[in-house]
Amino acid sequence: MALWVDEFRPRTLDNLHYHQGLSTRLKSLAASGDFPHMLFYGPSGAGKKSRIACTLRELFGPGVEKLKIDQRVFLSPSKRKLEINIVQSNFHIEITPSEAGNYDRVVIQELLKEIAQTQQVDLNAKQRFKAVVINEADSLSRDAQAALRRTMEKYMSNMRIILCANSTSRLIAPIKSRCLLMRVAAPNYHEMETVLNYVAKRAPFTLPPEATKKIIDDSGGNLRKAILVLEALKMQSPDLSGPLAIAKADWETYCHKVADLIVGEQSPARVMEVRAKFYELLSHCIPPTVIIKTVAERVVERVDESLKADIMHWAAFYVRKIVGGLAVPFTHSCWPAQEVRMRIGSKKIYHLEAWVVKIMSLYKHFFYDVDMSAFD
């Protein structure tokens, strides 16, 4: 039994519920036979992957759904073995090069060239080219992106690349200029309502409108999350009536607790308490950026209007310190991914704590109107 998210995932472009303009555009592109390289971008849970899958089906027919999973071994220049999982059908191949970390360049170079140099031999194939779907394209290292540049032009006849990313900010301009950009915006309230009702109809059960509203408000535009929550709630109370408690992720409640501690009292003892909590969060692999963001958003809800801007400012400031703790010079190999920096030695807990102390002092300053300018 599959999860609802997978079970009711639209299979064809016609079945997609929203962004009709995008769907017709994709459809006509697929029909025209002149298919460009594509870059799908948008927030998570907006339906990028579904759209890619539908487009592939439109291009190659139902054959793309016959998937097999393969594990390939690549050798890095220093003869280290890299194992990469590849999902492929006869017509397309799907990779997540960021699995290889810093060596994603090797994967891109070898795999793409290999695909590009083999022609489609199946005469019944609808298209002459194979499609390569690259997931998490925004975490590709700069070298890997540079490796894509000429490959995309040179092997256009045998291969089309479909990139999937959350944001285009971290893609280099030459890549962006070679692709047709497809922005997949998060669905709005109304569109999400339609989809949830559709899921309810297919499941089937009746979905009370107040439950729909609650789920949508909670999901923040992430449709996948909304459907997962719906399924979880359905498991809890089959008729979906009465007060619904949407379970938040543990780390989220934990972050909120931290925020409450900060607002509750400002003292060195409190900082120690908060530190313990931060360590706990970090040891569960919650990225420090996410921690700061969640805590800051919660704190901001609970303080005076005039303080809000400052709190956000310092949050942004320390987030930059965390990611940019040690500036890796541009020429040194790859795009400095967050994790790389951390390994070099910037300690994230310092910055988290510094931020907490900063906002505590701001808060105190605000209440007692002490002149703290000397400490800045």
Partner 1 sequence: MSFFNPKGASAKTSQKHVVDPALQPWVEKYRPRTIDDVSAQEHTVTVLRKALTSTNLPHMLFYGPPGTGKTSTILALSRQLFGPDNFRNRVLELNASDERGISIVREKIKDFARQTPRAQAVSSDGKTYPCPPYKIIILDEADSMTQDAQGALRRIMETYARITRFCLVCNYVTRIIEPLASRCSKFRFTPLDPSSSSLRLSHIAQCEHIDIDSAVIDTLIKTSSGDLRRSITYLQSASRLASSTSPPTAITSLDIQEIAGVVPESVINDFASTLGIEVEDAMDVGGSTKHNANSFGAIQSKVKELMREGFSATQILSQLHDLVVLHPTLNGRQKSSCALVFAEADKALCDGADEELWILEVGLRINKAIS
Each residue 173-212 as x (binds partner 1 by CB under 8 A) or -, in order, gives xx-xxx-xx-xxxx--------------------------
**Which CB sits closer to partner 1, 176 or 270?**
176
Q: Does 132 bind partner 1 (CB under 8 A)?
A: no
Q: Does 151 bind partner 1 (CB under 8 A)?
A: yes
As a whole number of angstroms, the distance between CA 171 and CA 159 comes to 20
Max Cα-Cα span within the chain: 80
As a whole number of angstroms, the distance between CA 366 and CA 299 comes to 15
**Which CB sits closer to partner 1, 29 or 240?**
29
Among 9, 17, 72, 170, binds partner 1 (CB under 8 A): 170
CA distances from 12 to 89, 226, 376 (A): 17, 21, 58
Q: Nearest approach, Cβ of 12 to partner 1 (angstroms)?
A: 18
Instruction: Please give the radius of gyration of the chain, using alpha carbons only, rounded to the nearest integer.
Output: 24
**Which CB sits closer to partner 1, 92 or 234?**
92
Q: Nearest approach, Cβ of 185 to partner 1 (angstroms)?
A: 5
Instruction: Compute φ and ψ for 183, nearest 5 degrees.
Output: -90, 125
Q: Nearest approach, Cβ of 151 to partner 1 (angstroms)?
A: 5
Q: Nearest approach, Cβ of 123 to partner 1 (angstroms)?
A: 8
Q: Nearest approach, Cβ of 312 to partner 1 (angstroms)?
A: 6
As a whole number of angstroms, the distance between CA 145 and CA 176 comes to 10
Name which of residues 36 to 75 contact partner 1 (CB under 8 A). Answer: 36, 41-43, 46
Region near partner 1 per CB under 8 A, out of 164-172, 196-204, 245-253, 362-370: 164-172
Q: Nearest approach, Cβ of 228 to partner 1 (angstroms)?
A: 18
Q: Nearest approach, Cβ of 97 to partner 1 (angstroms)?
A: 14
Q: Nearest approach, Cβ of 179 to partner 1 (angstroms)?
A: 8
**Which CB sits closer to partner 1, 29 or 64?**
29
What residue has token string 């140099």?
Answer: 117
Name which of residues 283 to 302 contact partner 1 (CB under 8 A). Answer: 289, 292-293, 296, 300
Total site size for partner 1, rule CB under 8 A: 77
Among 309, 344, 370, 372, binds partner 1 (CB under 8 A): 309
Q: Does 11 bind partner 1 (CB under 8 A)?
A: no
Q: Nearest approach, Cβ of 73 to partner 1 (angstroms)?
A: 17
As a whole number of angstroms, the distance between CA 338 and CA 191 comes to 35
As a whole number of angstroms, the distance between CA 110 and CA 115 comes to 9
Name which of residues 236 to 265 contact partner 1 (CB under 8 A). Answer: none
Residue 141 CB-density burial (10 A; 0-12 exposed, 13-18 middle, 19+ buried): buried
What is the distance of C-alpha 359 from the center of its chain? 29
**Which CB sits closer to partner 1, 200 or 307?**
307
Q: Does 15 bind partner 1 (CB under 8 A)?
A: no
Each residue 97-126 as x (binds partner 1 by CB under 8 A) or -, in order, gives -----------xx--xx-----x-x-x---
Among 58, 221, 281, 359, binds partner 1 (CB under 8 A): 221
Q: What is the 3-state secondary structure (H, E, C) of 183-200?
A: ECCCCCHHHHHHHHHHHH
As a whole number of angstroms, the distance between CA 86 and CA 83 comes to 10
DSSP state of 6: H
Region near partner 1 per CB under 8 A, out of 3-11, 316-324, 342-350, 363-371: 316-324
Q: Nearest approach, Cβ of 320 to partner 1 (angstroms)?
A: 4
Q: Rounded to the nearest 5 degrees, what angle is found at the Cα of 312, between the Cα atoms of 308 and 315?
A: 145
Contacts of 39 (CB under 8 A, 6+ apart): 137, 162, 163, 165, 168, 171, 175, 176, 179, 180, 181, 182
As a whole number of angstroms, the distance between CA 247 and CA 249 comes to 7
